[in-house]
């Protein structure tokens, strides 16, 4: 919404990411074929049209003030909310285009200029409407209940009830104005981290097994870690993390500033702590977070058993971080083209019905929702970006020799279809689903893909089956164990700031190393450079985001098992979840779909699946 400002981050991130790049290095944006890029013309036909729309938005400055002092009347409040909706629709569309152009090439000055000008204007708009929430919150409870029953406000009732929840955390008009003005500054650490790691970093070149020189980047790093040669993997890993070491003090200061901003906002808005503030919008009790961490900590043995299996199968005297991504099955290092990956993802989603499949196929294969391959200056990783009634877009850094990227495509396709369905089923004010539910939709698709592979060509071929089992194990490891470790780290560093402990580079390294030793176990060789991993995770700049991956996977496993068993009622419930947007609280939405995340069963089931998959893989490989 306008009153929160626009930060250029209207997208859903993938957990992590990893076209073949050879000796020529990474192409510039202008060298990428247009058919491999997203088509943004449904948003704006060109930059000129975007500029005209920005000027139209500029004319909206001051228009909201006409309802100041009038929000206690149903008709005036409805008119004010409608005016705000029209402004928000413009901001969202402008923001999506601007953020996507920056993401495709962060070094392009015109793209960054557009984003900064929009940010400046939306900050002004947010400042102008800073009176809105305080005025709503001044309405007495008895009058409020009468007000929201006004027929004029029927379509706004859900939104108004959600707003009213924030009453204890809404400040006075002057304070709200200051918070709006502070928005860009509070987003500074994220911007600095992105510019440093995506634009300024120079990782150099790495030689592969055949002596070819490969430009090391965020994208090629993921590919190189899957090479059979331990020398290539470990050289790439050390070279990659050495660049982070060269900037470690700056990155530590940037992360510390982000944490300080989180704590400042929690204290300013009278939350018990930064985590409570982050969980408040989703109505998630802190006990759910703690129960998740406890469950995973009690089930570390299967993870460490898997590490021992890795060390044995790879025949390594010591197992290092550079050895955790390479597939254990060596004979299936085949390439998967993007076209083939699209076909696999679409077919895997067959259980969700013809409408879902046809829309997905059109978007991925023909309507250019996806920006496919890496180029210089492009944001690393992957995300899905959506704005109301416009196409959803997917950023990828797809690599044909990394099977994980097929899963990443399935993941982001889940986000995009969630956006497509909810935006067409709900009015704008109820259409935007919380991240909590987004991760269920995305990891659900990953589970369907795994089932599709295991029940298809890998059903009788034990070598192929081992390969897919290995992939699923690594996915659960990365989504459940790894993200929960990240969640613990986030909790520890925020608690330290709240207790007045200095967030130095040494503190970050020591805290992260302690978690690594607990989670990874004795089979792992702990290298000092691995402590710097905590400085390369972009999700830490969206505080307390990562636990939702673990929750989402657990819920998705439960739901997918029912759908794949032929439970047509659950298929309908999943469609209901995808169409619900933000109309109901996420835990309630999940309960309606058949999963209760306030109980331990879903997380325990996911951990049990991991253990059983490790056992099956161990039998096949040994």
Predicted pLDDT at 14: 54
| pLDDT exceeds cutoff 80 at 6 | no
Query: Which tens digit of pLDDT belongs to each residue from 212-221?
Result: 999 999 888 9
| pLDDT exceeds cutoff 60 at 2 | no
Structural domain spans, the chain: 2-12+27-186, 193-276+297-330+477-541
Predicted pLDDT at 403: 76
277 or 335: whose pLDDT is higher? 277
Predicted pLDDT at 404: 79
| pLDDT exceeds cutoff 60 at 13 | no
| pLDDT exceeds cutoff 80 at 511 | yes
Confidence bin at 20 (pLDDT 50/70/90): very low
Cα–chain-centroid distance for residue 248? 24
| pLDDT exceeds cutoff 60 at 573 | yes
Work out the burial of residue 141: count CB atoms within 10 Å of its CB; fewer than 13 is exposed, 13-18 middle, 19 or more buried.
exposed
Q: Which backbone phi and psi does 394 adopt, to 5 degrees?
A: -125, 125
Predicted pLDDT at 15: 53
Predicted pLDDT at 1: 44
Average the pLDDT over 72-84 and give the result.
Answer: 96
Work out the burial of residue 529: count CB atoms within 10 Å of its CB; fewer than 13 is exposed, 13-18 middle, 19 or more buried.
middle
Known catalytic residue: 527? no
Predicted pLDDT at 12: 56
Taking all residues of the chain, what is their mean pLDDT, rounded to a whole number? 92
Predicted pLDDT at 522: 87
Pick the CATH number of 2-12+27-186 from 3.40.630.30, 1.20.140.70, 1.10.10.60, 3.10.20.30: 1.20.140.70
CATH architecture of 193-276+297-330+477-541: Orthogonal Bundle (1.10)
Rounded to the nearest 5 percent, the helix, strand and coil shares of the chain are 65, 5, 30
Q: Are 621 and 311 spatial neighbours (Cβ–Cβ below 8 Å)? A: no
Confidence bin at 462 (pLDDT 50/70/90): confident
Q: Residues 587, 592, 595, 598: is their CA dihedral positive or negative? A: positive
Average the pLDDT over 429-439 and give the result.
Answer: 91
Name the active-site residue from 135, 412, 439, 531.
Answer: 412
Query: Which tens digit of pLDDT belongs to each residue from 32-71?
Result: 999 999 999 999 999 999 999 999 999 999 999 999 999 9
Predicted pLDDT at 381: 85
Q: Residues 267, 268, 269, 275: is their CA dihedral positive or negative? A: negative
Query: Which tens digit of pLDDT belongs to each residue from 472-484?
Result: 999 899 999 999 9
Is it true that 2-12+27-186 and 193-276+297-330+477-541 share their CATH fold? no
Predicted pLDDT at 277: 97
Through-space distance between the first and last CA atoms of the chain, rounded to whole angstroms: 56
Give CA–CA dist 263/256, Å, rounded.
Answer: 11
| pLDDT exceeds cutoff 70 at 363 | yes
């Amino acid at each position: 919404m306008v009153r929160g400002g626009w930060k250029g981050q209207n997208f859903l991130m993938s957990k992590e990411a990893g076209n073949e790049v050879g000796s020529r290095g990474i192409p510039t944006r202008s060298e990428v074929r247009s058919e491999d890029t997203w088509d943004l013309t449904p948003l704006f036909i060109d930059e000129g049209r975007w500029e005209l729309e920005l000027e139209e938005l500029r004319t909206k400055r001051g228009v909201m003030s006409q309802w100041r002092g009038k929000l206690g009347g149903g008709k005036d409040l409805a008119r004010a909310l409608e005016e705000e909706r029209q402004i928000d629709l413009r901001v969202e569309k402008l923001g999506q285009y601007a953020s996507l152009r920056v993401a495709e090439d962060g070094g392009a000055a015109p793209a960054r200029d557009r984003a900064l000008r929009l940010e400046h204007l939306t900050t002004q708009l947010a400042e102008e409407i800073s009176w809105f929430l305080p005025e709503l919150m001044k309405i007495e409870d008895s009058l409020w209940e009468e007000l929201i029953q006004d027929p004029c406000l029927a379509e706004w009732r859900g939104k108004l009830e959600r707003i009213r929840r924030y009453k204890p955390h809404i400040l006075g008009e002057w304070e709200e104005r200051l918070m709006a003005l502070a928005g860009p500054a509070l987003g500074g650490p994220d911007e600095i981290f992105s510019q440093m790691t995506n634009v300024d970093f120079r990782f150099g070149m790495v030689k592969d097994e055949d002596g070819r020189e490969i430009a090391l980047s965020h994208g090629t790093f993921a590919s190189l870690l899957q090479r059979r040669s331990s020398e290539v993997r470990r050289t790439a890993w050390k070279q990659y993390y050495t660049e982070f070491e060269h900037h470690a003090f700056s990155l530590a200061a940037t992360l510390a500033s982000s944490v300080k901003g989180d704590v400042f906002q929690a204290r300013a808005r009278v939350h018990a702590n930064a985590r409570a503030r982050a969980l408040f919008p989703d109505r998630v009790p802190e006990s759910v977070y703690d129960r998740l961490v406890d469950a995973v900590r009690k089930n570390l043995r299967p993870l460490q058993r898997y590490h021992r299996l890795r060390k044995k199968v790879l025949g390594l005297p010591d197992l290092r971080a550079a050895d955790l991504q390479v597939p254990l099955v060596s004979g299936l290092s085949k390439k998967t083209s993007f076209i083939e990956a699209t076909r696999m993802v679409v077919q895997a989603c067959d259980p969700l019905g013809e409408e879902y499949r046809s829309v997905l196929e059109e978007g991925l294969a023909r309507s250019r929702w996806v920006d496919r391959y890496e180029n210089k200056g492009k944001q690393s990783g992957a995300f899905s970006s959506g704005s109301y009634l416009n196409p959803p877009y997917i950023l990828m850094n797809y690599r044909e020799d990394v099977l994980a990227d097929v899963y990443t495509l399935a993941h982001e396709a889940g986000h995009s279809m969630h956006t497509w369905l909810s935006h067409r089923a709900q009015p704008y004010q109820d259409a935007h689903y919380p991240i909590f539910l987004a991760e269920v939709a995305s990891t659900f698709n990953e589970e369907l893909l795994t089932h599709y592979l295991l029940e298809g060509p890998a059903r009788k071929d034990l070598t192929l089956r081992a390969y897919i089992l290995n992939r699923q194990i690594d996915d659960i490891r990365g989504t459940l164990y790894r993200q929960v470790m990240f969640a613990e780290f986030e909790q520890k560093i925020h608690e330290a700031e709240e207790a007045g402990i200095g967030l130095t580079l040494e503190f970050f390294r020591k805290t992260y190393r302690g978690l690594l030793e607990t989670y990874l176990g004795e089979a792992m060789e702990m290298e000092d450079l691995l402590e710097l991993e905590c400085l390369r995770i972009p999700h830490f700049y969206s505080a307390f985001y990562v636990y939702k991956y673990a929750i989402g996977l657990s819920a998705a496993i439960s739901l997918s098992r029912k759908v794949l068993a032929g439970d047509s009622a659950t298929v309908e419930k999943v469609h209901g979840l995808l169409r619900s947007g933000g109309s109901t609280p996420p835990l309630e939405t999940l309960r309606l779909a058949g999963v209760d995340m306030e109980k331990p069963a879903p997380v325990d089931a996911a951990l049990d699946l991991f253990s059983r998959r490790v056992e099956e893989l161990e039998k096949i490989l040994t």
